[in-house]
Amino acid sequence: MTNNRVRFEQWFDLILTMIDGREHTAKELAEVLGTTLRNLYYVLKRMRNMGFNVVHDRTFYYIDPHSPFLRRIATAIDFTEDEVVFLHGRLLGEDQDSPMAGAIKRKLERFYNLTSQADVHFRQRLYENTSLLEQAMSDRQVVILHDYSSPHSHSVSDRVVEPYLFYDNKADIRAYELKSRQNKTFKVARIGAVEVVDTPWFNEHKHREVFTDMFMFSGENKIRIKLRLSILAHHLMLEEHPRSAKFMTRDDDEHWFFETDVANYVGISRFILGLFDEIEILENDELRRFLRSKIERMKLR
């Protein structure tokens, strides 16, 4: 029993040493384990079989913090990405001579893959901008998006907006821009800095969410359509757009009703024109006019 306890303590010491963020040679690890190099290599092999990703880098050995074994242990106490960025950002401001701050920073960088100073500062800026946008939305305040880099106009400028909704796991912010008087979607990663202005929203009645239809077209307005599909059109619709199943109801043995909202007529018109003799438009005269116009343009080519 005593031998087993000693062996367990030695293995535990070895694991702690190999995840401390420093580089260790095989000779150093053998000393920690209190054994020969030959036996150390045997132990490292056993550890790999147990779910530890033992990395051999040049003459050094360490355990990858993303090893399955360690991830299972960390699940119950794992930090979210925002929490990691927050903690790391606070540690960056600590006394550079503090051994504890330095050790914790190295552990965060290794375990959460904060690979460079540029990456760390980017994540910190992202966290701060997201926090300020959340505050502004909660207080219904106007903000300035400083140095916003637009991929469309290839320009960098300040945008004065009323932010009101996050999209895509907080990667995008939906906001009403005062200058253009339009609702727009901004990439949070493209914002240089967020400044909350001491001015309340005054265009809330103009705020609109973005609607994305099953054809992956987006817009602020929803347009209702209703079609009657043949068996062929029904099957092809399900094959091309599996999400359409919830919008289908059976009419008879050979036909199905298809009723849904779309952001525009582009996606649905492509489908209708490809199967024009298999589909009947039951609702939406504007869709009929859109298709006639498209057919006329096709004739001119």
Between CA 17 and CA 21, with CA 20 as vertex, the angle to 5 degrees is 130
Look up the pTM and report it: 0.47
Domain that holds residue 49: 1-74
Task: Judge if 215 and 236 occupy the same domain.
Answer: yes
pLDDT value for 217: 86
Please state the separation of Cα 95 from the chain's center in Å.
Answer: 33
Which of 161, 191, 206 is the last residue in one of the domains?
206
Residue in 133, 132, 110 with CA at minimum distance from that of residue 120 = 110
* C-beta separation of 155 from 141 below 8 A: no
Q: Based on the fold, state whether residues 216 and 294 are members of the same structural domain.
A: yes
Render the burial of 161-186: b for 16+ CB within 10 Å, e for the rest: bbbbebeeeeebbbbbbeeeeebeeb
Residue position matching structure tokens 């999209």: 167
Both 264 and 223 in one domain: the answer is yes
Note whether 217 and 252 are same-domain residues: yes
**What are 211's strand-pairing partners?**
219
CB within 8 Å of 134: residues ≥ 6 apart: none
Per-residue pLDDT of the chain (301 residues; tens, 9 = 90+): 456 677 778 888 898 888 877 888 999 999 998 889 999 999 999 888 888 888 888 888 988 877 777 776 665 555 666 666 666 666 655 555 566 666 666 666 666 665 555 466 677 788 889 999 999 999 999 999 999 988 776 788 999 999 999 987 788 899 999 999 999 989 888 899 999 999 999 999 999 888 888 988 888 888 999 999 999 999 999 999 988 999 999 999 999 999 999 999 999 999 999 998 999 999 889 999 999 998 888 877 6
DSSP secondary structure, 74-139, as one string: HGGGPPPHHHHHHHHHHHHTS-TT-HHHHHHHHHHHHHTT---HHHHHHHHHHHHHHHHHHHHHHH
Instruction: Please report the DSSP string for 107-123 in residue order.
Output: HHHHHTT---HHHHHHH
pLDDT at 300: 75
Task: Give me the pLDDT at residue 1, please.
Answer: 47
Looking at the fold, whether 288 and 218 belong to one and the same domain comes out as yes
DSSP state of 297: H
Residue listed under structure tokens 């004065």? 160
